[in-house]
Structure 1
Amino acid sequence: MKKQWGLTLAAFALVALSACNVTTRDDVEGEASDVEPPAEAVDIELLAMSSNEQDINILRDQLTSNGFTVSINQQPDYGSFVSQRDAGNYDIAISSWTTVTGNPDYAIRSLFKSDGDNSLIDDADIDALIEQGSTESPEEYTDTYRELEETLVTENAYIVPLYTSMKNQAFNQDVLQEESVRLSKSRAFAWDSVRYVNEEEQGERPLVLTQAISELTSLDPIKGNDGSINQLNTNMYVRLVNLTDDDAITADASLSYEYAIAEGNEDYYFVLRDDLFFAAIEGEDVVETEERVGIEDVIFSLERASDRDSVPDHRTYTLHEHIGEVTAVSDLTELENATLAGSSDSILEQLESGLDQSIDSLVTDKDAANSEEGAYQVVKLTTTEPFPQVLNYLAHQSAGIVSKSQVESVNTYNVEEFDVNTDIPYGDQRLVTEGSGLENSLYASGPYIMTHKNDYEAVFLKNPGYQAGTEYEPAIEEVRVRFISDSDSALSALRSGEIDMYYGVPENKMNLVEGDEKLQLQSIPSNGVTYLAFNTSNRDVAESVDLRKAVLYAINQDEIIQVYNNDKLPAYSTLSPLVDTGNKLEADQNKVYEHLNAYLESKDE
């Protein structure tokens, strides 16, 4: 196992649950063990946040019933949890991962590949399977990912899967039009589609949302991938493509009119819109810069996204390591001669299918683009190998398009000599924090831009240069994101009308939402999987596969799901919501005792 624990991503979300009555093993009859129980109980320390109290109680019961003595390291908040985790004060920790790109490669690469920026393990077989699956189509990769799960969980017990969660959100239906409030399986909540019941209020009344974390990692999209900024950066930076609510790739509300994949799955073409302009902040007012979001910004943004050394503390480079080259297409015959993957049609035909005016000429100067006259910008992305899942990564917030000129004007420091105390890079939250005395240097390519933040909320204004006059122009002029860390407080704020929507309602709060006539609950299966992560550095679980397997087979997912009134789903790995491998975890006390006995014998040798 790898002797480190990488940085936490957005997708590393700890499920907020409050205590309630817990089903014990006495409540669910199981088969008696045929194997002699271990001569002594084995100590195990569980690290979790207090918001995980429900899971803590279930796991403590299951482990205790299987020959463990469980001690609980329960921390009050996420910061304290991270401190204890980084100090190595645990054997197992309740952890979660949400695949926010909707593709299986994202579900595993960062967590389980040896060089992943959140890697838990170092296993050459798993590395090879991750790379193999990344080059395969959905029709091909199921067998590969099944084998990966068997290596990851069955053979080595590198993680212990617990369950897949539902994705729940609630909103005030007296305020928001139901059809305008999207619930997406993967992508963060999109603000631009929201409409008020009373549409006359859209220019006057701010939309009030909430999130738990107030300390923002970075408003530079490549420098953060966690719950503090995913929703915010998703709405501040446009991308080449987007995900639909059910994880299909779409050009809707993106920088592209249309995209095309060339035969061989290595070349990807995008014809760019010419009606997006960067927004900036002067004082606390939004202004349109009149700088078009264009091809040079796309090339700059994606090259820095894939370059680990482009910024200090780059947290998303592994998502974009398959980007080989990003270029401007200037020769129209290239589009005429390149063939669409799986078709005899040309790339040109596919790109023109999303246009009102045919492509008469290609321009490489973004200011020369004019779709009404048939002058378009087309960018080509070439991957390092065939990699169909690259489009999902391009829909991720870390692939948001920034202004080349603005970022270069702010990031004048030397990356190798960067000093966090004196250098203030583009996107640093200090630049938008009230009272800092610093000038807001954000340039937003997306529908909204942050004006300022404090410990209470962050304020955003509509980008006047974002697809004005189209169906994708935002209707609501102002969005306020309140920082509310406690789920009870967030739900209370929704019920009292202080906020308009609560994104991420815990399962044990759903009955309160359903009992409130003014609230509407939306719920779908998510891509979020909760699992136990082992200490990989200074405990016996790092070295003993028998000890890890004993923990694995002590976990009864059916019991857990029953406690949650079937509002959870089975899981075998972080791939479970995306790929049906057929693998299932079955609790087995015989196997628990076999592995515990083997572990104790090895300690005596």
Structure 2
Amino acid sequence: MKKFFAVAAAATLVLAGCVETKSEKEAGGVSESGTDEKPVIEVLGMASNEQDMNIVRDQLLKNGFEVNLNIQPDYGSFTSQKDAGNYDVAVSSWTTVTGNPDYAVRGLFKSDGASSVIADEKLDELIDAASAVTGDEAVEAYKAVEELLVFDQAYIAPLYISNKAQGIYSAAVNPDTVRLSKSRAQAWEKISFNDESLNASETLVLHQAIGSLTSLDPIKANDGSINTLNTNMYSRLVNLTDEDEVVAEDSLSYNFAMTEDNSNYYFILRDDINFAAVENGAAVDTGDLVSAEDVVFSLNRAKDPESVPDHRTYSLHENMETVEVVTDLAELESATTPDGESVLEALSNELPADITTLVASEDEVDNAAGNYQVVKVTTTQPFPQVLNYLAHQSGGIVSEQQVSSINTFDVASYDPNSDIAYGDQSTVTEGSSYDNHLFASGPYILVQKNDYEAQFVKNPAYRADSEYAPLIDKVNVRFIDDNDSALSALRNGEIHVLQTVPDTKYDVVSSDDNLTLKQADSNGVSYLQFNMSGRDVSESADLRKAVLYSINQQDFITYYQGNKKPAVSTVTPLVDTGLTFEADAEKVKEFLDAYAQ
């Protein structure tokens, strides 16, 4: 199959060499074949998206384009080709793991976004305006974003929304304990074997495709190699439920509250989580409380683009203006929430003891005696979506003492060949480079990894001796980059949970007596990203719109056996703007004619 498509792509390349260029046409030239020019579109994607690329190719050919397929074997080579600009459209996907629409657009489409190739001041203004409002105002604001992004400028062309499907080896693992969240990365601490007596002795084996870990420092990476791993290694101030509600449950906070102006956010911290470290291959309690000082340190570095080399997540946190420890109880009494109660009342729900004192130092913390730490985050503008970003893995709390002791280099002159940054995967890779310096504030800590798997153990100081302590002692994450191989491993019981079951293999899982298939809605959207630099599509909105209206989403839905849904943009799963998108051959012709003028 792959050989056939490679030949087809090569044939397209030969045909592309015979067509007249736009500049030749403007000069009155003709192609060698004597036919009118057909615009050539280069489609970039990974081998794992080959079927999507083939559907796009067929739709474009049908609508009068020539097509080159640039198929790359993996994400690294795909990224290299994209960075080099070797594409007209790139088959892209995005999952809004924070559950809020701002995350679905800010980093992708704002001029200063970490993943953006677009520079449009009007779009920037619309994204910023939408981020500050809620309810019906937010619906109208994101409708304006979609209208400009897709219909007015055709910066992207939507393909489909994916469903989520998870396969569980329920012959061994209790499927009721395995969460399938719409946005949040998989949480491990509640997973249990059917025979609970095995939780202390048996290893839970999970799966992910990518074995090369970008960084175990939560702010230095935001990709599929580390999102789930860092989510389980670092506590955050808040979490998301499976349905994307922001809650304090299983977080570092007992409760949180925001003021009625949507600009000040308060978090009251618990005192039953210490950092874990690794000594002689085992997790140990460092005795160091995960404290307000660590929170302030972590969030200040999260919002500072210069705090670490190659900071990948600062754009998620740039709307935090200040992060501080509150010691004045009167401030909590006078501040009012949108519901009209005081912040003190909102923070006081179901605590171990009533709040008597707010303390600045972790040495003074004693929740049972009424001594608490409270952290206040103030945003640069009204920005309720800050809570969703604090639930993201990049909001994970690291140890101020440990990170500061590792990151002693000058950030501006950082040399990855000689400087070792906190979270560098080399420090946990078995062999001569192994020197595990991780401090984990979450339920698990990574002990070591190799090319085959990463080995985690539970944090003995994470809510120890309570019902919230991790249930399974040891978790291995197996690296298998081929979906079919991963599915075979699940069926053989070699892995216990397959987080992503291919859309065309649902029946394989559901018909196996040893397996359980779980399904849920997702925030994952696939789309074509137009190259906005150095290509004809970069300069011509008409050409981009001709490509846009060539895309028939029903072809994708049919191929994936109804397991995809229509999309307009990455916002679609989060906000119903009322907009819809449909292929339109007449509009394709109209925009191609306009482009040819």
Structure-to-structure mapping, 1:365-404, within 5 angstroms:
365-404=361-400
Give the distance between the partners of 1:395 and 1:107, measured in 2 at CA: 15
1:539 corresponds to 2:535: yes
Per the alignment, residue 151 of structure 1 pairs with 148
1:430·1:436 contact (CA, 8 Å) conserved in 2? no
User: Counterpart of 1:160 in structure 2: which amino acid?
Assistant: A
Alignment of 1:121-520 (within 5 A): 121-343=118-340, 345-520=341-516
> Partners in 2 of 1:409 and 1:63 — Cα distance?
55
Tell me the SS of whatever aligns to 1:512: helix
CA distance in 1, matches of 2:252, 2:558: 45
Matches of 2:378 and 2:76, distance apart in 1: 40
Whole-Å Cα distance in 1 between the matches of residues 486 and 555 of structure 2? 29
Distance in 2 separating the partners of 1:436 and 1:504:
34
Aligned residue for 2:573, secondary structure, equals coil
- Give, in angstroms, the shift of residue 367 of structure 1: 2.4
The answer to whether structure 1 residue 530 and structure 2 residue 545 are counterparts is: no
3-state secondary structure, aligned to 1:392: helix
Query: What is the distance in 1 between the residues matched to 2:358 and 2:162?
Result: 47
Distance in 2, matches of 1:562 and 1:438, equals 49
1:98 alignment partner, one of 71, 95, 103: 95
Name the CA distance, whole Å, in 2 between partners of 1:351 and 1:84: 50
Question: What residue identity is the alignment partner of 1:434?
Answer: E
What is the aligned residue count? Answer: 564
Of stretches 582-591 and 222-231 in structure 1, the one that deviates more from structure 2 is 582-591
* Equivalent residue in structure 1 for 2:63, among 57, 61, 66: 66
Q: Please report how far the alpha carbon of residue 509 of structure 1 lies from its aligned counterpart in structure 2 after TM superposition.
A: 1.6
Task: State whether structure 2 residue 572 is matched by structure 1 residue 576.
Answer: yes
The Cα shift of 1:176 comes to 1.3
Q: Partners in 1 of 2:543 and 2:316 — Cα distance?
A: 32
Q: Determine if the alignment matches structure 1 residue 120 to structure 2 residue 126.
A: no
Shift of 1:436: 3.1
1:544 touches 1:599 (CA, 8 Å); kept in 2? Answer: yes
**TM-score normalised by length of structure 1:** 0.92
Please give the secondary structure, in 2, of the residue aligned with 1:473.
Answer: coil
Does the CA contact (< 8 Å) of 1:357 and 1:371 recur in 2?
Answer: yes
Residue 354 of structure 1: CA displacement?
3.3
Q: Which moved more, 1:141-150 or 1:44-53?
A: 44-53
C-alpha RMSD of matched pairs (Å):
1.1
Matched position secondary structure for 1:72: strand
Q: Report the Cα offset of residue 409 of structure 1.
A: 0.4
Could you tell me how far apart the structure 1 residues matched to 2:322 and 2:468 are?
30
| 2:517 partner amino acid | L
Equivalent residues of 2:503, 2:561 under 8 A apart: no
CA-CA distance at 1:69 after TM superposition: 1.3
Unaligned runs of 5+ in 2: 6-34
What displacement does 1:170 show? Answer: 0.6
Q: What is the aligned-residue identity percentage?
A: 57
1:84 maps to what in 2? Answer: 81
Q: Which runs of 5+ in 1 are unaligned?
A: 1-18, 20-37
AA paired with 2:139? T
Letter in 2 for 1:571: A
Give the SS at the match of 2:94: strand
Superposed displacement of residue 491, structure 1: 0.3
CA distance, structure 1, for counterparts of residue 590 and residue 339 of structure 2: 52
Counterpart CA distance in 2 for 1:58 and 1:51 is 14
| Cα displacement string for residues 2-58 of structure 1 (whole angstroms, at most 9, x for unaligned residues) | xxxxxxxxxxxxxxxxx9xxxxxxxxxxxxxxxxxx943221111111111221221
Q: What residue identity is the alignment partner of 1:136?
A: V
Instruction: Report the residue type matching 1:589 in the other structure.
Output: A
**Cα distance between partner residues in 2 of 1:527 and 1:496:** 30
Cα deviation code 1:498-533 (max 9, x no counterpart) = 000101111012111112111001111210100001
**d(CA) in 2 for partners of 1:81 and 1:122?**
22
Q: What is residue 30 of structure 1 aligned with on the other side?
A: none
The answer on whether the counterparts of 2:504 and 2:561 sit within 8 Å (CA) in structure 1 is no
Tell me which moved more, 435-444 or 257-266: 435-444
